[in-house]
Amino acid sequence: MNNTYNIKHIKVDFTDHKVTSNGVELSLDLKAALVLQLLIEHEGTTVHSNDFMDQVWHDKPSSPEVIPAAIARLRKMFKLAGISEDLIVTVHKIGYRFEAPVETHTSSPAPRKTTPFNRVKTWALIVMAGLLAFLAYQYKPSTLQVSSINNQQHNKTTQITKESLSKVTQIFILRHGEKTDDAAEDPELSDAGIKRSQYWKKVLQHTTFDQVFTTEFKRNIQTANLIASNSSVKPELYYPMSFDVLNFMNQIKGQTVLIIGHSNTIPDMVNRLINETKYPPMSHQNYNILYTITIGNDGETSSSMLHIEMP
């Protein structure tokens, strides 16, 4: 058997008994890891409870109750990592069976039916992308002056965009700004991080957020507060390792929200929100990426990863 096993964006390392999600290590004890290894080794076949006791708990006398407890920890780990399927099947009074999720791959997707909503949404996304590009250019040091006529046209475009997107869910996800180089356990934003956060505020100035979410670290809270400083919305805390996608999506349905995260958790969060392993791990040196997710009333999802450099 190979030393590693991949389940969507999750990698199981049998040598080190570690499980990672998009490169982020998940919390898992040794016994649960050994149970998972035994299940994967016999994928599609029921592993008897006696086999678990003989091979996993052979070194320590234990009661059979340790098995369902370990299974419960594994199921919780998969759920927290964004795997909605129940990969471990309980075979009553016998044992457990591991069934890997079935992923469907198509070489050429069927043409999608064009509907009025799709046309409006596509147009709105194009306008939004153009708006972001315009704002990024607008705030470069330049002697260019925008005429009052262009301002009026820009305001009309912004108003139309807001009306077109009012019935969809929009999610903007950013990393916190640069932090200070001191050895503090919870460092604050550096001067560069403050300037970057202020720049993101300019880029997103025409976006009205219904909710803003941030982790409990100082640099994230500062970033959220700087971007949403002109808003009456107060940032709320969330915890990446216990992020419940379904509850979150129900909570923000039809809203426009901003999420401030970390380089080692953002790509995994985006992939879980779109239910697709699309975005690779993010470099810890990168601060210029904006992820956007748009979800229509019909559940159709689109996403993008924009690189926006400061002038």
Tokens read off for 28: 């898992």
Q: Indicate the Cα dihedral angle 189, 195, 200, 202, nearest 10°.
A: 140
Beta strands in 3-78 (DSSP E): 4-7, 10-13, 18-21, 24-25, 46-48
> H/E element holding 97?
strand 95-98
What CATH number should be reported for the domain whose range is 4-98?
A: 1.10.10.10
Looking at residue 132, its pLDDT comes to 57
Residue type, 73: R
Q: Where do the domains of the chain lie?
A: 4-98, 116-307
Looking at residue 135, its pLDDT comes to 53
Q: Do the bridges between strand 88-91 and strand 46-48 make them parallel or antiparallel, or are there none, so unpaired?
A: unpaired
Cα–Cα distance list, 58 to 12, 40, 72, 105 (Å): 23, 19, 20, 42
Looking at residue 104, its pLDDT comes to 34
- Max alpha carbon distance in the chain (Å)? 81
Per-residue pLDDT of the chain (311 residues; tens, 9 = 90+): 578 999 888 899 999 888 988 888 888 899 999 999 999 999 999 999 999 999 999 887 778 889 999 999 998 888 878 787 789 999 998 999 999 876 533 333 334 444 444 444 444 555 565 555 545 544 444 433 444 445 555 554 444 444 444 579 999 999 999 999 866 788 999 999 999 999 999 999 989 999 999 999 999 999 999 999 888 899 999 988 778 888 899 999 999 999 999 998 999 999 999 988 899 888 888 999 999 999 988 888 999 999 988 88
- Specify whether the CB–CB gap between 310 and 203 falls below 8 A: no
pTM for the structure as a whole:
0.51
Q: Indicate the Cα dihedral angle 256, 260, 263, 268, nearest 10°.
A: -40
Looking at residue 144, its pLDDT comes to 37
CATH 2.30.30.100 fits 116-307, yes or no: no
Query: Tokens 């590693």 identify what position?
Result: 4
